[in-house]
Chain A
C-alpha cells in the first residue's frame, strides 16, 4: 500500500510539473518577450493560454503537499525544517506569480500592467528554481531523518542548484512547446515560428542541464548515479529520446505530437528520480515509504481519496482542456470575441491534423541535433551548451 501511495505522490508531482511547470515557463517567455511593443503578441498568447487553466494546475501542488504530509509525515517534517528557506522563497514566488498574473488582467494603465507583468514574470522563475533546489537537495541526500534546523548547504550544493536551473529550463521548454500548439490553433504563423525558435533553444538548454546534472551526480553521488544508469536507465533513455524527438520535430517544423513527447520527457525525468531512490524517501537515511509515520489505515484512506480524485477530477480537467482547446474559454469578460470563420482545431492530444500531410519524421540523430537549422537562437543555445559543459567539467573536478 505504501508503494501505491508513493506512486500516487510521484504521479501527482509529475502532473504538477507538466501542467503547472508550463505555466511557470510561460512566465519565463513573458519575461524574455522584450519591450512592451515587441512583446505584445507573445504576451497576449501566453496570457490567453494560461488564464483559464493555471489555478486548476496549481492545485496539484497543494495535493502533492497533502499526500506527502499525510502518508510520509516524518519525511515531510524533516524536509520542511531542513529546506525551510527555499520553500519560503518558492512560496513567495507562488503568491507573487498568482497575484501579479491576476492583477495584470484588471489594471488599465500601461505602467501598472508593466509592474504587475514584471512581478508575474520574475516570480515565475523563483518558484521552479527553488522547487528544483528542494528536489535536488532531497535526491542528493542532504535532508537528515530528524532535522532540528534549516540548512543552507543542503540546497546550495551543485546538484541542487543544477536541479533548480533544470526546473526553470524544463518549464520554459514545456511552455514553448505548448504555446506552439496554441499559436497553431489560432492560425498565428508568426507566433508559431516565434515559439518554435524558443522551444528549440529551451530543448537544447534543458538537455544540456540534464547532462550536466548527470555528470555532477556521477561525481558527487555515485550511488544515485548508479541507480539512475542502472534500474532507472530505461526512463533516462526515454527522457533523452523524447527530448531529442521534440527538438527534431521542431527543427523540421512538424510540431505534431510534440506536446505529448515533451511532457513524457519531463515525466520520465521525474519517474527516473523516483525509481532511482526507491524505496527510500530521504536518501542517506532509513526513512522509506513504509516507515515514514503513517498507519496502513491512513494509506488506505489516501488511496481512496486519490481514486475519488481520479474519478471526479480527471474528467473535469479533460472538460477544461477540451473547452480551452476549442477556444471556448478566454473570451469572458476580458478578451476577444471569436474571430470570423472556422478556426483550425487540433485536439489537445496532438494527433496529426489532416491538413498537414507529410513524410514521417526522419530518425533523429542524437549528438548533433542543433546543426540542422542554424538560426540565431540555436547558435545561442549551442553557446549555452558549451558553457554548461564547461561548468559541469569544473564541478566534476571539484
Chain B
C-alpha cells in the first residue's frame, strides 16, 4: 500500500500544485505574445512604409518596406508555430478547463481561427508577391493582414476577458446548458482589455522598429534611411501612447469593481478601507511594505475621484482565494505604469521639439532613450500580462474554476517545462540572430537579394545545365 503510494507520487509529482503548469504556460505565452504583437501590428507599419513609398515616390520608405517585409516573413513563421503551441497547451496542460468550459470559450477561438486563416493566406500573397504583383495591388493584398490582425487579437483577448469576467452561459450539474455568443465574445472586461492589448501591440511593434534605427543613429548613421525608419515606427507608436495611458487608467478603475482582489494585490490594499494610500514600488512581506513610496489618499482618489472612496482589500476573501505573491503583482503593475509613463514623456519631448524647432531633438539622451523604447514597451506589456494572469490566481475562470482543477492529471511537467525553456531559448536566440544577420547583410551589401536555400543563382533555375558549376 505504502509502496504503491510512493510510485503514484513519483509518477504525478505535482498533483494539486499548478505552479509548474503555470510556469510552462507563462513561458510559452510570454514568448509568443511578443511575436503576436508583431504579427498584429508590424504588418501595419510595413504597409505604412509601402504607402509612403508608393504615394510620395519615396524610395527610402519603399526600401524599408521591402526589408521589413523580409523580417516579417521570419517573425510570422515563428509566431505561427509558437501560437500553435498555445492551442495545443490549452488541451495538454488544461484539459479540466477545456472539458468544462471548452464549448464556451472555444467559440471566440473559432472566430480567431477565421482571422488567422486570412492573415496567413494574405501574408503568403503579400510577402511573396513583391516582385510580380503591381505596386498598389501588392499594397492592397497586405490590408487584410492588418485588419485580420486586429480582429484576431480581439477574439483571443475576448477569451482572456471572459476568464476574468465570465458570463454568457448557464450551468447545471457541471454541464453547460445555454450559451450566448455576444456575451461570451464581449464580456465586461473586453471593453478595456481589447483596446489595451491592441494598442500595446502597436506600441511594441512601433517602438521596436524605432529602437533599431535609434541604435543606428547613435552609431553615427545619421542618414535619411535611418531617420525615415525611426519616424515610421516612432510617430504612430508615440501618438497611440496617450490613448493607451487613458485606456489603462480606465481598465484599472474597472478592475477595482470587476476583480477587487486582483486590484487589491495591484495596489497593496490588505483591508477594505477608505482614504487608501498609493504605494510606488515596495515589497510586501508579512504585512509590512519595505522600500516603497507612500502617497496618502491617492489610491482612493484614482479609484473614485475622492479621498473617501472605499477600496476593497484582499482580506475580504479567505486566504485560499487570494492570489499568491502580491509583491510580484504590485511590482509588475508599477513597472507597466512606470514604463508607460516614460514612453509618454519621451513622445512629448519629441512633440515639444517639433513644435519649437521643426526637427528631431538633438540631445544624445533622446536617442539613447529611443534605442530602448522597444525593450521598454515589451517589458511593460509582459508586466501587464503578469498582473492580469497572476492577479487572477487561484482562479482560471474567475470565481468559478481554480487553476488546480483545470490542470492536467498527467505527470512529466518538469520534463516538458525543461524542454520548452531550452527550445524557446534557442528559438529566440536564432530568430534575433537571423534578424541581426539580415540587417548586417542589408547594410554591407546594400542589396535586397539573398540566395535561395541550396539554390541555383536566379538566372539558371529554369535552364537545364550542369549543376554545381553555376556558382563559380
User: Known: A113-B453, A297-B180. Is A77-B99 also a contact (CB below 8 A)?
Assistant: yes
Complex Cα distance, B180 from A238, in Å, reads 42
A273 beta carbon closer than 8 Å to chain B: no
Query: In the assembled complex, which residues on chain B have CB atoms less than 8 Å from the CB atom of A384?
Result: none
Query: In the assembled complex, which residues on chain B have CB atoms less than 8 Å from the CB atom of A91?
Result: 84-85, 88, 92
Query: In the assembled complex, which residues on chain B have CB atoms less than 8 Å from the CB atom of A222?
Result: none
Within 10-52 of B, Cβ neighbours of A (below 8 Å) are at 11-12
User: Known: A56-B121, A305-B110. Is A47-B452 also a contact (CB below 8 A)?
Assistant: yes
Q: A197-205, A229-237, A324-332, A375-383: which lies at the B interface?
A: A324-332
Contact flags (1/0) for A57-73 with B, using CB distance below 8 Å? 01101110111011101
Q: Tell which of A94, A97, A104 touches B453, judged by Cβ atoms closer than 8 Å.
A: A104
Q: Tell which of B99, B122, B408, B410 touches A316, judged by Cβ atoms closer than 8 Å.
A: B122
Query: In the assembled complex, which residues on chain A have CB atoms less than 8 Å from the CB atom of B120?
Result: 55-56, 58-59
Complex Cα distance, B346 from A188, in Å, reads 57
Whether the pair A101, B451 counts as a contact (CB closer than 8 A) is no
Within 210-262 of B, Cβ neighbours of A (below 8 Å) are at none
User: Known: A62-B87, A99-B430, A309-B117. Is A297-B178 also a contact (CB below 8 A)?
Assistant: yes
Query: In the assembled complex, which residues on chain B have CB atoms less than 8 Å from the CB atom of A104?
Result: 453
Complex Cα distance, B411 from A44, in Å, reads 43
Complex Cα distance, B180 from A62, in Å, reads 23
User: Known: A77-B95, A94-B84, A107-B437. Is A334-B111 also a contact (CB below 8 A)?
Assistant: no
Whether the pair A335, B452 counts as a contact (CB closer than 8 A) is yes
Query: In the assembled complex, which residues on chain A have CB atoms less than 8 Å from the CB atom of B288?
Result: none
Please, which residue of chain B has its CB at the minimum distance from the CB of A313? B117
Q: Tell which of B104, B427, B450 touches A108, judged by Cβ atoms closer than 8 Å.
A: B450
Query: In the assembled complex, which residues on chain A have CB atoms less than 8 Å from the CB atom of B122?
Result: 316, 320
B317 beta carbon closer than 8 Å to chain A: no
Whether the pair B113, A77 counts as a contact (CB closer than 8 A) is no
Query: In the assembled complex, which residues on chain A have CB atoms less than 8 Å from the CB atom of B131?
Result: 331-332, 335, 337-338
Query: In the assembled complex, which residues on chain B have CB atoms less than 8 Å from the CB atom of A107?
Result: 434, 437
Q: B73-81, B335-343, B378-386: which lies at the A interface?
A: B73-81
Whole-angstrom distance from the CB of A338 to the nearest CB of chain B?
Answer: 7
Complex Cα distance, B82 from A66, in Å, reads 16
Contact count band on A: 35 or more
Please, which residue of chain A has its CB at the minimum distance from the CB of B424? A95
Q: B277-285, B320-328, B365-373, B454-462: which lies at the A interface?
A: B454-462
Whole-angstrom distance from the CB of A69 to the nearest CB of chain B?
Answer: 4
User: Known: A80-B95, A106-B437. Is A148-B77 also a contact (CB below 8 A)?
Assistant: no
B301 beta carbon closer than 8 Å to chain A: no
Whether the pair B73, A102 counts as a contact (CB closer than 8 A) is yes
Q: Which residues of B contact A (CB under 8 A)?
A: 11-12, 66-67, 69-70, 73-74, 76-78, 80-85, 87-88, 90-92, 95-96, 98-104, 106-107, 109-114, 116-118, 120-125, 127-133, 144, 175-181, 408-412, 416, 419, 423, 427, 430-431, 434, 437-438, 441, 448-456, 458-459, 461-462, 464, 467-468
Contact flags (1/0) for A295-323 with B, using CB distance below 8 Å? 10110011001101100110011011001
Whether the pair B438, A84 counts as a contact (CB closer than 8 A) is no
Q: Tell which of A36, A67, A103 touches B434, judged by Cβ atoms closer than 8 Å.
A: A103
Contact flags (1/0) for A134-168 with B, using CB distance below 8 Å? 00000000000000111000000000000000000
In the A-B complex, the 8 residue pairs with the closest CB atoms: A70-B106, A73-B102, A331-B131, A102-B77, A80-B91, A77-B99, A294-B103, A98-B81
Whether the pair B121, A106 counts as a contact (CB closer than 8 A) is no
User: Known: A44-B454, A323-B129. Is A188-B91 also a contact (CB below 8 A)?
Assistant: no
Whole-angstrom distance from the CB of B6 to the nearest CB of chain A?
Answer: 16
Q: Which residues of A contact B (CB under 8 A)?
A: 36-37, 39-41, 43-44, 47-48, 51-53, 55-56, 58-59, 61-63, 65-67, 69-71, 73-74, 76-81, 84-85, 87-88, 91-92, 94-95, 97-99, 101-108, 113, 116-117, 148-150, 186-190, 293-295, 297-298, 301-302, 305-306, 308-309, 312-313, 316-317, 319-320, 323-324, 327-339
Please, which residue of chain B has its CB at the minimum distance from the CB of A117? B453
Please, which residue of chain B has its CB at the minimum distance from the CB of A67? B110
Query: In the assembled complex, which residues on chain A have CB atoms less than 8 Å from the CB atom of B92?
Result: 80, 84, 87-88, 91
Complex Cα distance, B458 from A331, in Å, reads 10
Complex Cα distance, B322 from A106, in Å, reads 48
Please, which residue of chain B has its CB at the minimum distance from the CB of A340? B462
Whether the pair A297, B179 counts as a contact (CB closer than 8 A) is yes
Please, which residue of chain A has its CB at the minimum distance from the CB of B122? A316
* Additional 20 contacts, C-beta under 8 A, given A70-B102, A320-B125, A334-B70: A37-B467, A44-B454, A52-B125, A63-B110, A66-B110, A69-B106, A70-B106, A73-B100, A77-B95, A77-B99, A88-B88, A91-B88, A94-B85, A108-B450, A149-B11, A149-B410, A301-B179, A305-B113, A329-B125, A329-B132
What are some 20 contacts across the A-B interface (CB < 8 A)? A51-B128, A52-B127, A63-B110, A66-B113, A73-B102, A73-B103, A76-B95, A79-B91, A92-B419, A98-B81, A106-B438, A293-B175, A294-B102, A297-B181, A298-B104, A302-B107, A312-B118, A316-B122, A331-B130, A336-B458
Query: In the assembled complex, which residues on chain A have CB atoms less than 8 Å from the CB atom of B409?
Result: 81, 148-149
Whether the pair A69, B98 counts as a contact (CB closer than 8 A) is yes
Complex Cα distance, B130 from A52, in Å, reads 12
Whole-angstrom distance from the CB of B178 to the nearest CB of chain A?
Answer: 6
Complex Cα distance, B73 from A32, in Å, reads 26
Whether the pair B427, A150 counts as a contact (CB closer than 8 A) is no
Query: In the assembled complex, which residues on chain A have CB atoms less than 8 Å from the CB atom of B450?
Result: 105-106, 108, 333-334
Q: Tell which of B87, B96, B124 touches A53, judged by Cβ atoms closer than 8 Å.
A: B124
Whether the pair A301, B181 counts as a contact (CB closer than 8 A) is yes
Whether the pair B78, A63 counts as a contact (CB closer than 8 A) is no
